[in-house]
Structures are given as C-alpha cells and as structure tokens.
Amino acid sequence: MAELLRAENIAKSYVSGGAFGGGEKIAVLKNINFSFDAGESFGLLGSSGCGKSTLARLMLALERPDSGKIFIEGQDIFSLKGRELKALRRKVQPVFQDPYSSLNPRMTVSDILAEPFIVHGEKYRQSDLKKLLSQVGLGENSLRKYPSEFSGGQRQRIAIARALALKPKLIIADEPLSSLDVSVQAQILNLLADIKEEYGLSLVFISHDLALCKFLCSKAAVMHKGEIAELGKTEEVLLSPKSAAAQTLLEAVLPLN
Amino acid sequence: MFRYILRRLLMLPLVMLGVTFFLFFLTQRLSPEMRASLYIQDPRQMDSLEEVIEKYGLNDPMPVQYFRWLKGAVKGDLGYSESANMPVTSAIKAYLPATIQLAVAAIILVVLFGVWLGIISAKYKDGFTDNLIRFFVLAGFSLPIFVLGLILLMIFYGKLGWFAPGEYSFTADMIIHSPNFKTYTGFLLIDSLLNLNFYVFFDVLKHLVLPAVTLCIGSFALMVRVMRSSMLEELNKDYVRSARARGLSEFKVIYEHAGLNAMIPVVTLASIQFIRLLGGTVIVETVFDYPGIGRWGVECAQQLDIAGVMGFSLMVAVLFVLGNLAADILYTAIDPRIRLK
C-alpha cells in the first residue's frame, strides 16, 4: 500500500497571554512522527489538552507548525499555495467535534452540501445531494431544512455527508462522537466504519476512548503532553500498553465485565 | 408571525396612554400661572394671566385636564404648539422628515463602517490595525457630541467653507418654496429627486454630512465593539474552520460565512440606536441649526409649550415601539432559527 500521510518532526507552540507582549511560549506539540498508508485508519488518542486537536488543524493545513513537515501523498502540504492548496483541500476533509457549531446556521442542508461542489467548480445535481444524504441515513426531505431543525446526531451525519461530497481520500475526525450521547455514538461509529469501507478512504480518528479507536483503526498513537508516547498497532497498544500515558487511558475506561 | 405583529401593535395604545399620562402628571407640577405664561408675549399682557388660565382651564383638576387633552388626541388634535406657531400635528409633520433623513444617514454610516471596522478589527485581533481602530473609535466616543460638532463646524464651515449649517442653502430655500417645486413626501431628498431637481438634492445632501457624521461618531464605538466580539466568536466556530478546510477563499469565509452570522446582534443594536438617534438628535440639531424634531422639542421645553412637549414625547414613544417591532421582524429575516410566536 502506498503511504498516504507522513508527519515529520512536527513542533508547534503558542504564545499565551500578555496583551502588551512578553507572553509565555507554550509548546503544544513536540517531535511528532508518524505515518500511515492509504485506506488505513489511524487513531490519535490522548487526554484533553495533549495537542490532538492542534495536530488535526495542522493536518488540515489550517495552521502551520513551527518546524517539521507533513506529507500527504508525497506532497509537503505547508509548501502548497493557491491552486495546489485548493486541490489538497479536496483530498482532506474535516469532521469536527461539536455538530452545533460546525454547520452554518444560516444555510439550509441543501446549501451546505452543495457548497463543496461550488467551491471546487464542480457540477452537481439535486440527485447528488440526495445520494449524499441517503448515504448518511437521512431522508430527502431534509434538504430544505436548517441545521437547527436537527438533533446532534443528525447534524453530525450532515457534517459527514458534507465531508464526503468531494470524495476525499482522508477524513480527519476530531472527536466526532464526544458531544453525542451513547446510543447515537454507536450509530455514528457504524456510519464511519461503513463509509470507510465503501469509499476506501482513510480516517484519522481522534478520541480519548481506546475501545472506539480499536473498532475503527488499525494503527494508533497515544499522545501525552504534546508528544507521542506510544505508537503501534491498535491491538498492541490496547492489550499491552508500555507507556504510562496509555495505561492511564486504558484504566480510565470502566471495564464492561 | 402575523399574530405576533398584531399583538405588539395592540400594545401600542397602552404604551401611548401610559407615557402621556405620566408626562401630563409631570407638567401639572408647574403652577397654572407658569403654564399660562406661554400665551403671553408682552409684559403689558400680564394682567390677563387670570383670563388665560380661565380660558384654557389650566386650574381644573388634573384628570379633567388630561381627559380634555386625551379627547382631542383621539380625534387627532394634539393641541396648538405656541413655539412652532402651528398645531402640534402640523409641527411634527413639518419637522419629522428632516430628522428621519438625518437619522437614516447617520445609521447607514454607523452600520456600514461599524460592521466593516468590526470585521477588520476581529480579523487582525490584537494586531496594529485592531489597536488603531479601537483607539480611534473610543476617542470619538469619548468626545462630547457638541464639542465634536463645533470642532467640525469650525474646520469645515469656518475654515474651509465646505459644509454650512442649516437644512439647505438660501438658493435651495427659494426653489423649495417656489410653486414649481411639488411636495410629495416631505422628505427633501426624495422630493427633490421626484422633482428632478438635482441642485436641491445635492444641496440637502451636503448639509446632511456634518450633522450625520457628528451623530454617528457617538454610536460608532458600540457598533464596532459588538461586531468585533461577535465576529471573534463566529470565527472560532467549527463551521468557519471547515469552510476553510473546504478551500473557500478567505474573503468568502470572513464576509459570507462568519460575517453574516455575526451580524445578528448588530441588527438589534442598529434598530435601538436608530430610535435613540431619532430622539437624540436634540444636541446635533441645535449645534447645526438643523430644523428637525429635536430642535423643536428643545424649544417646546424651554418655552413650557406643554402641548408641544406632549406631542414630541408621544411621537418618540410610538417610534420606539414600532422600531423595536421592526427589529424583531428583521431578526426572522436574518436568522432562520428565530420564529416569532
């Protein structure tokens, strides 16, 4: 399998506080290295504040690192500009944590789903939008409605449909389940797994739940304080965690039996 | 929606009744002699003070006098304004258009520049541009309106002679009051266009510049501030992030996605500010000798022209209720989540 994404020595820091200058520099990411192949899914685990979401924004090329590179299909994404960057955007799409803020409340579902096509100058028909909706398990009558008329789970489905519109190769899902209740979580999890199969796409699944990660991802990294504490096959990380961070995460999940 | 509007409109008479009753009660604290002095122009007429009190029933119990006023008001007769030398209703009709013209010009400036500066300020948060905008906006806000008005007059009228005070020039006055100039709406800007008289149009527009700028500087600060914070909030939401990740141009992300959503609080603020401007043109109209409703209101109060004061307040109250209603209706247009019940 061809390599899809490779991160090399990523470091990123923010300046905190200090309206009059002299703010403190806080390192959010340090020495991040990982890679995965096309079609493979990658789990990014860690407690809150460990830098997972920052890493997600870097992979989406929404922010730049202080140093280090990310290659997607061999292209250094931070060197891209203009048309090339736009082409990259087609390949990588986000699904965010909070479905209440990830959909523009002024746009109907139809507008939301049509926008990716319009932005990238692609023709689309009404039937394309309906197909996208049915793929995420929503009816055609949803097209005319506004996001506020849907529940959290339904909104997350719309967000996923939007991400699928341009047939991306990689979807970066930043804790897509954590603001949903448990029964809905299972539905969305299944939906993500189905879509992964059907489109043959890769998924970066960011979560703090190891069990969910195992369901979707073959490979996983556990992050701790901005660094990768453990990297390997999901099962290995799950069954015999070597780092303290991974052990803590595992213990935090209540055993079912 | 329709029922909501109807219900709000049904509230209007109650508000009017409350406002006028309260004001009438206040004016009754002045002695009959003081109120009668309005009708006396010459010291030699002082002897007829009793006669005036008798004639207008100024000594009657308050409810009787209020009821008398109310009876007239229901029929559309708000009394005679001595300070304007015409019935109150005619005075409102004569002065209100000029003020609305002024307030509309000011609120357009406030919204356009306030929103724009707010967006830029948010975009370059904590940067040089942001600090510059915030400094000047706050400086303008801190300057008293009459000081600012006088400074502007000094520079642009005294030194440069560009913008004169008043509502129009002497030449325009001659044209407006000539038989060829037809009055359609009372709004000179609209009427001059309907008469195809562009000289008057630009003359009136030119006289509007300084008072409108003076008026808007005071309202600017709040608008920029609200827009900036609302914009910052929107820019931090995931739909903006995902719009960027979809490859939308920065212009579209900022103005179409985040900008429009950030406008929602601006709509309320603008409608409240507009009404405030209508009632608050008092100082500006006095400084610029602009013959609007605010200047008339001041004259009424100074001359104890009670019929005038009542009419003025009644009008402001009605505008306030209607303005708030308009804001509510505007909401539903701008935010699909809001449904009026």
**Domain-wise residue ranges, chain B:** 2-36+48-83, 87-334
% helix, strand, coil for chain A, step of 5: 40, 25, 35
Chain A residue closest in CA terms to B334: A106
Handedness of CA A90, A96, A99, A101 (dihedral sign): negative
> Is the residue at A257 inside a domain?
no
Contact A85 B248 (CB under 8 A): no
Summarised one tens digit per residue, pLDDT across range A140-155 is 888 888 888 888 888 8
* B164 phi-psi bin (left φ>0, alpha ψ -120 to 50, beta other): beta
The structure tokens listed for A129 are 């939008």
Summarised one tens digit per residue, pLDDT across range B55-84 is 777 778 888 888 888 888 888 888 888 787
ipTM of this model? 0.75
DSSP SS3 for A230: strand
Model pLDDT, residue A22: 61
- Phi, psi dihedral angles at A229 (to 5 degrees): -85, -30
The structure tokens listed for A187 are 């539905």
Across A89-111, average pLDDT = 87
- For residue B259, give how far its alpha carbon lies from the nearest alpha carbon of chain A (Å): 11
B31–A contact, CB cutoff 8 A:
no
Name which CATH class applies to B87-334. Answer: mainly alpha
Contact B261 A104 (CB under 8 A): yes
Tell me how many domains chain A contains. Answer: 1
Q: Which domain holds residue A35?
A: 3-252
| Cα A136 to Cα A191: distance, rounded to the nearest angstrom | 7
Model pLDDT, residue A1: 62
**Residue length of chain B:** 341
Residue B288's Cβ-side half-sphere holds a number of Cα atoms within 13 Å equal to 36
Model pLDDT, residue B116: 92
Q: Which of B125, B128, B131, B241 to mutate to test the interface with A (most CBs of A within 10 A)?
A: B241
A106–B contact, CB cutoff 8 A:
yes
Would you say residue A109 has pLDDT above 70? yes
Chain A residue closest in CA terms to B257: A104
For residues A112 and A99, the answer to whether their CB atoms sit within 8 Å is no
Model pLDDT, residue B338: 65
Contact B337 A146 (CB under 8 A): yes
Model pLDDT, residue B340: 60
The residue assigned the tokens 């609209």 is: B190
- Phi, psi dihedral angles at B117 (to 5 degrees): -65, -35
Contact B238 A98 (CB under 8 A): yes
Would you say residue A255 has pLDDT above 60? no
**At A231, which amino acid appears?**
L
The structure tokens listed for B66 are 């209020």
Model pLDDT, residue B341: 57
- By C-alpha distance, which of B210, B211, B333 is closest to B267? B333
For residues A35 and A55, the answer to whether their CB atoms sit within 8 Å is no
Low-confidence ranges of chain B (pLDDT < 50): none
B261–A contact, CB cutoff 8 A:
yes
